[in-house]
Each structure stands twice: as structure tokens, then as C-alpha cells.
């Protein structure tokens, strides 16, 4: 194993998402050194120059920010991949429209990364999330515990916020996970949802709701909220940037935090040869453990449907 420069992050991609991630990492003082790689080097130089000026303000870390090439991956602790196009306003509301283009972008990116390292923890942010995460791990034999995607972490945050608003509580008091695909086949294991230990089945009485929570409607709103933001704003950036920072913080501080990330399955729930989001324990080692929630029949059906969909797409990729 090569010597890692702990505190060093390589950020691949300087578009809307990459720039937002850079700003958020700086704001939260999560790195000692950040190297930005972008196909358009002038764009990267502009993003880095702009961000570097923020380090002069009080309470900002004196982080070393610069533009570099893939050789910078060799001693990086964390690599964040945002390379490839994103869904544009007016396009299909399905992230799978990016499949063909971004599979090739991912392959090109991974060839460069693995020529320098398989020791860094690699966080994938590019879509279609689960397919690209699987391609990156499976085709390039990256260590399974060291590569994962942001997956349904942001979907989970959206779900917790929506549910908290209904029950009029702080979203940080909600425990619930969106699992499976970062896309249309994601599902919620409702039997595992609670607010400070109060199970979902008792929400109406405990929180004095006028009517039961419509589970299908709420899940639909979670699924389309990101796409709605794209139509309204042109792109998403804030939520995904903090999702990445949540993972970076868990790694840098060795938190052993339980968060849902897209990981290649290796027998969990009897499934393999696919990546999808599961609650995982995240530490400085990457994924310490993949947790298997006690799914009820509804949850098992959701898991099976998601698996069949993603596994079918993987089988069609050339």
C-alpha cells in the first residue's frame, strides 16, 4: 500500500456539482489539500481561483487548492468523481438517459485513476449512480470497501425533511432510509421508519395528524424532487454537495456513521452483481459494514423489483 496524504482530496469535475462540492468542503473545513481535475483546464483554474479567495476570511481554513492531473490521485486519501454530463431542463426525467455517454466517461476516468491508485476511497457522484458505481468497481477491480456512490443519501435527506414537515418536527429526529436505486425504483422500508423511536404506524396518533400519511405519494415526491429542481433551477447542487460532505466528514473523522450509499452487493439479502444503496457504516476505511435491515414483505418486494431492474440494465451494457 502506498503512503497516503491524509487530508488530501482529488475532485474530478468542475461543473455546477463539482464547484458546489468544493465550496462546501472548504466551508466545513474538511480537507488540508484539494486538487481539482477538469477536462477544460481553464474552467478548473477559474473555479480554483474563485474558491481560493474564500480562505482569507475569518473561520475559513487555509486549505491548499490547486488544479492538477490524474497523477495527483496517487497519494490522495479521497477521490470524488463528478465527471460526465447531467440531466438538463426539458430532457427526459430519467437519469438512465445519461447511461451510454457516462459509462464511457466512467471507464475513461477509472483507467486513469487505477493507473495511479487503488488505495484512495472513491466516491462516485455521477449518474446513473448505481450503474456507474458497479462498472467502476467490477470492471476495474477496485476494492469493494473503498468505492461507493452517494446513492440514496440525498433521497433519504429529502424523505426525512418531507416527513418531518408533515409531523412538525426537526428532520434530524427522523430515522428512515430510502434504499435501492438512486432513481425510479428506489423504495422505503416503512417498517424501519421512526421518529425518536416512535414507529411509523403510530405517527397519525402521536403527532395528531388529520389523516394517515400517503406512503405512495410521499415516495413519489421523493423520487421526483431532484428532477423538479432541475426544471426550476437548471441543475441541482446544494443538496448533493452536502451529501458528499457528509461522507467526506465521516471518512476524515473516522465516524463510523450509518448512511445509505450505493455499494456493490456481495451476498446481502442473497443478491450480487449489482450496486444499490444500503445503510452502510462509513469510517476512514470506507465501508466497514453493509447493514441488512429487517425488511417486511413490502420492503422485500421493493428490493426485488429494484434488483431486477438494475441487474437487467447491467446485462445490456457493452
Domain boundaries, the chain: 5-149, 153-316
SS3 252: helix
CATH number at 153-316: 3.90.110.10
The DSSP call for residue 147 is: E
Report pLDDT digits (tens) over 74-115.
Answer: 999 999 999 998 877 766 556 778 888 999 999 999 999 999
Whether residue 128 is preceded by a cis peptide bond, meaning omega within 30 degrees of 0, is: yes
Output the pLDDT for position 89: 78
SS3 294: coil
Is 182 marked active-site?
A: yes
* Three cell numbers, residue 205: 396518533
pLDDT of residue 2 exceeding 90: no
Output the pLDDT for position 58: 77
The sheet that has 198-199: what strands, in order across it?
A: 174-175, 194-195, 198-199
The set of residues, in sequence order, having a beta carbon less than 8 Å from that of 280 and lying 6+ positions away, is 148, 258, 259, 260, 261, 263, 287, 288, 289, 290, 291
> Once rounded to an integer, what is the mean pLDDT over residues 61-86?
96
Residue percentage of the chain with pLDDT more than 90: 92
Kindly tell me the sign of the dihedral angle through the C-alpha atoms of 303, 307, 308, 310: positive
SS3 189: coil
The partner residues of 260 in beta bridges, in order of sequence, read 279
The set of residues, in sequence order, having a beta carbon less than 8 Å from that of 134 and lying 6+ positions away, is 264, 273, 274, 275, 310, 314
Report pLDDT digits (tens) over 131-185.
Answer: 999 999 999 999 999 999 999 999 999 999 999 999 999 999 999 999 999 999 9
Which CATH topology does 5-149 take? Rossmann fold (3.40.50)
Output the pLDDT for position 248: 99
Output the pLDDT for position 6: 96
Could you report how far apart the first and last alpha carbons of the chain are, in Å? 32
Output the pLDDT for position 236: 94
The DSSP call for residue 126 is: -
Output the pLDDT for position 94: 66
Report pLDDT digits (tens) over 210-260.
Answer: 999 999 999 999 999 999 999 999 999 999 999 999 999 999 999 999 999
Residue percentage of the chain with pLDDT more than 70: 97
Under 8 Å between Cβ of 88 and 97: no
How far is the CA of 76 from the CAs of 42, 106, 246, in angstroms? 23, 19, 18
The sheet that has 257-266: what strands, in order across it?
A: 64-67, 33-37, 5-12, 76-81, 121-124, 147-149, 257-266, 272-283, 286-290
Q: What is the mean pLDDT of the chain?
A: 96
CA distance 20 to 174: 26
> Once rounded to an integer, what is the mean pLDDT over residues 68-73?
98
pLDDT of residue 304 exceeding 70: yes
> Once rounded to an integer, what is the mean pLDDT over residues 271-278?
98
* Three cell numbers, residue 8: 488530501
Catalytic residue among 3, 53, 182, 305: 182
pTM: 0.96
Output the pLDDT for position 260: 99
Under 8 Å between Cβ of 105 and 13: no
DSSP string, 208-252: T-SS---HHHHHHHHHHHHHHHHHHHSS--HHHHHHHHHHHHHHH
| CA 289 to chain CA centroid, nearest Å | 17
> 94 or 287: which carries more pLDDT confidence?
287
How is the chain split among helix, strand and coil, in percent rounded to 5?
Answer: 50, 20, 30
Amino acid at each position: 500500500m502506498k503512503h497516503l496524504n491524509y487530508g488530501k482530496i482529488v475532485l474530478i469535475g468542475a461543473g455546477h456539482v463539482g464547484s458546489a462540492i468544493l465550496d462546501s468542503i472548504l466551508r466545513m473545513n474538511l480537507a488540508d489539500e484539494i486538487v481539482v481535475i477538469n477536462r477544460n483546464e481553464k474552467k478548473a483554474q477559474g473555479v480554483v481561483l474563485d474558491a481560493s479567495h474564500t480562505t482569507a476570511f475569518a473561520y475559513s481554513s487555509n486549505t491548499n487548492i490547486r488544479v492538477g492531473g490524474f497523477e495527483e490521485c496517487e497519494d490522495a486519501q479521497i477521490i470524488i468523481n463528478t465527471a460526465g454530463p447531467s440531466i438538463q431542463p426539458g430532457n427526459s426525467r430519467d437519469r438512465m438517459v445519461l447511461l451510454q455517454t457516462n459509462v464511457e466517461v466512467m471507464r475513461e476516468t477509472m483507467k486513469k485513476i487505477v493507473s495511479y491508485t487503488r488505495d484512495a476511497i472513491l466516491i462516485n457522484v455521477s449518474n446513473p449512480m448505481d450503474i456507474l458505481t458497479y462498472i467502476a468497481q467490477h470492471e476495474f477491480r477496485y476494492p469493494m470497501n473503498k468505492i461507493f456512490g452517494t446513492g440514496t443519501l440525498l433521497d433519504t435527506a429529502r424523505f426525512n425533511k418531507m416527513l418531518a414537515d408533515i409531523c412538525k418536527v426537526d428532520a434530524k429526529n427522523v430515522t428512515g432510509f430510502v434504499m435501492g436505486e438512486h432513481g425510479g425504483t428506489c423504495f422505503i422500508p416503512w417498517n424501519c421508519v421512526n421518529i425518536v423511536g416512535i414507529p411509523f404506524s403510530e405517527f397519525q396518533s402521536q403527532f395528531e395528524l388529520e389523516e394517515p400519511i400517503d406512503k405512495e405519494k410521499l415516495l413519489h415526491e421523493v423520487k421526483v424532487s431532484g428532477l423538479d429542481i432541475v426544471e426550476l433551477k437548471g441543475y441541482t447542487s446544494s443538496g448533493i454537495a452536502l451529501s458528499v460532505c457528509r461522507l467526506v466528514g465521516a471518512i476524515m473523522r473516522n465516524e463510523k456513521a450509518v448512511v445509505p450509499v450505493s455499494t456493490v452487493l456481495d451476498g446481502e439479502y442473497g443478491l450480487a452483481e449489482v450496486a444499490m444503496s444500503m445503510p452502510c457504516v462509513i469510517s476512514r476505511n470506507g465501508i466497514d459494514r453493509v447493514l441488512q435491515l429487517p425488511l417486511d414483505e413490502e420492503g422485500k418486494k421493493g428490493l426485488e423489483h429494484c434488483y431486477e431492474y438494475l441487474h437487467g440494465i447491467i446485462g445490456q451494457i457493452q
